[in-house]
Structure 1
Amino acid sequence: MDILKERAKLGDSLLAPINLILDRQRGDILSTFVGKSGDLTHTILNNEETLRRVADYCYEFLPWPLRMAVKKPTFVEFVLTHRHAVLAQLAQPA
């Protein structure tokens, strides 16, 4: 299989659960960053360490079969690569 097709399939498999987690855990995630100056999503987007913390948090809420198939470092890199999609979901009103 073509590597681009594999990555697209992985993206499709991960974005839906990430969006669900962000919807359910939005309050907890955002409360972690309360007190930060400036626009919250801008702060998270431009700070790789902060985005890694969001990814670590979300990884724990993935369904266990997905966690068995996708290891944490791979998931974190995926979130970093797709940071705009993740932050767009996080920034949506509840």
Structure 2
Amino acid sequence: AFRKLPTPLLTRALLEAVEYQQPRRAGTTRPKLRYAHQGGQNPPIVVVHGTSLDHITASYKRYLEGRFRQTFDLLGTPLRVELRSGKNPFARSEAN
């Protein structure tokens, strides 16, 4: 389980998974998954960056986990997928 997962390959696997099955729309916004990288090795952690990721369902997270397992042959290995949303640079801050 100490395998290195290169960022370009993880991102390509993520984009292929999204192309095959997009996440559900939450109201008027659809979560956008931008790129993925490895956050840890034991157990492997895949960190996915994007926008509106708080609307991703648990079932879609399991779907992504399965796609990463299948792509990188990680069968039988615990795998965690973490979602990190980017901040909107144009959103008005609370301080103003």
TM-score with structure 1 setting the length: 0.39
Larger Rg: 2
The structure with the largest helix share of the pair is: 1
The structure with the largest strand share of the pair is: 2
TM-score with structure 2 setting the length: 0.38
